[in-house]
Structure 1
Amino acid sequence: MAKNDFSSEVAENYEQKCLCVLVLDLSGSMNEIVDDSTAVATGQTIYVDGKNYNIVTGGISKLDNLVEGLQSFYTDIENDETTSQRLELAVVTFGDSVNVIQSPSLISDIQLPELMADGDTALVDAVDEAIDIVNNRKKWYKSTGQPYYRPWIILITDGEPNEGQDVSALASKIKKDTAEKKYVFLPIGVDNANMQVLQSIQGQIPAMKLKGTKFGSFFKWLSASMGTVVSSEEGSAVNLSEGAASWMDSFTI
């Protein structure tokens, strides 16, 4: 079967679907400790994503906060009768390489896998993979007679793309696709993310900066937003700004 080919899949229901593809940065810098109250230094260092880090045992990392936020997001979706039947989730992760750890599925068919951070930041390749998933999933919706809302691609990164990746080509693709309403693209920067890069690849929604590592607040907002989207009338205007202040930070360029 070709990559991201859903042609043999049978529809579980014929509710109007909304696909949300999470593109998550699992480069080594996501292991950075953000709560060191229980951390113990080992005396060793490591160089990751252009920075030196002290190696510790214990503590709470950015990755720990991401996993906790994701789990609450999954639970919120599962507990909403309408959203659980309409929202399909896919998850793409990237470090040195890109992995589709969750193909598009309703929440009832999903279990959060163990996430591990390592390597650099293959950001461009990961977003390209997400776009491919969106395009092929829409073809499947059409072939199976399922109506659908505009899909979402949500990028969360704390770094910047590896050298040699074609950021300008990705930026052109996203601007064209979002102008044609093929999907919604939301780039989120965490901690040391290069916000200039994220601004360069944004579509119709500006790149946003997470306050600290408030993944929990972000995913709470996201689950509420997805619930609003899948409960809206087709073609109606939807205001998703409510609650964003709890996780969104300002930034300068």
Structure 2
Amino acid sequence: MSNEVGGFSKSDFGSSTRRRLPICFCLDISGSMTGYPIEQLNDGLQSFFASIRDNEETKSSADIAIITFGGSVDIFLPFGKSGQDSSIPRLQATTSLTPIGEGILTALELLNARKEGYKEMGIKYYQPWLVVITDGAPQGPNAVENMEKAIEAVRELEDNDKLVVFNIGVGSSADSPMLQRLSGKREKPISIST
């Protein structure tokens, strides 16, 4: 039997028998997030992880990954390495564009692979959460097309109760209409003022 399940090592699933909640943060680190916005994002992440660490039930249930987008799309923190027992390194804003659609599509692939891994390992799970935090509109090569693909994929999963979406805009310049289209079940995006 292979040591890989859904692209993950079997040890990445841990030994907890609790039902898992896969959560993928899809975070904007583009140039427009420089300064106070990236500090707010980092402070919020640190608070979130501290809350997870402080509660035994959530500590053994929450399964967290972080995707960043700012010029490129990167897996900053893969599933199974969620830092629940350590601190999360602080994110740095880049001086680049905002490939948000590509970031969301990557997050959906990662969440799907994680769900397949749970199934293969016989682990019960809740439907995944996708948390998108951005201050801007899609920018870069194929950014608009990728965003449209991402919106379509997210809405289909959400409409079939296969995904819970938290769309969060940072600052007054956040593209609220685009964020609104991302989730059909929320009246409006969550807003963080800067």
TM-score normalized with structure 2 length: 0.87
Q: Which residue of 1 aligns with 2:92?
A: 116
SS in 1 for 2:79: strand
- Aligned Cα RMSD in Å? 2.0
- Structure 1 residue 133 corresponds to structure 2 residue 110: yes
Partners of 2:117 and 2:85 in 1: how far apart? 18
SS in 2 for 1:108: coil
SS in 2 for 1:147: coil
Q: Which residue of 2 aligns with 1:155?
A: 132
Partners of 1:83 and 1:107 in 2: how far apart? 13
Partners of 1:99 and 1:113 in 2: how far apart? 14
Gaps of 5+ in 1: 33-60, 214-253
- Select the residue among 67, 71, 80 that pairs with 2:55: 80
- Select the residue among 93, 97, 103 that pairs with 2:78: 103
Gaps of 5+ in 2: none
Q: Number of aligned residue pairs: give it.
A: 183
> In the alignment, is the contact (CA less than 8 A) between 2:68 and 2:103 conserved in 1?
yes
Percent identical: 30
Greater Rg over alpha carbons, structure: 1
TM-score normalized with structure 1 length: 0.67
SS in 1 for 2:68: strand
Q: Which residue of 1 aligns with 2:162?
A: 182
SS in 2 for 1:104: coil
| 158-167 vs 114-123, greater mean Cα deviation | 158-167
Spell out structure 1 runs of 4+ moving beyond 6 A.
none
- Select the residue among 164, 176, 183 that pairs with 1:195: 176
Flag the structure with higher helix content.
Answer: 2
> In the alignment, is the contact (CA less than 8 A) between 2:46 and 2:87 conserved in 1?
no
Task: Measure how far apart 1:204 and its partner are.
Answer: 2.2
Task: Measure how far apart 1:202 and its partner are.
Answer: 1.7
Correspondences of 1:1-253 after superposition (within 5 Å): 5-6=7-8, 8-10=9-11, 11-12=13-14, 13-32=16-35, 61-105=36-80, 106-108=82-84, 111-118=87-94, 119-163=96-140, 164-165=142-143, 166=145, 167-191=147-171, 192-213=173-194
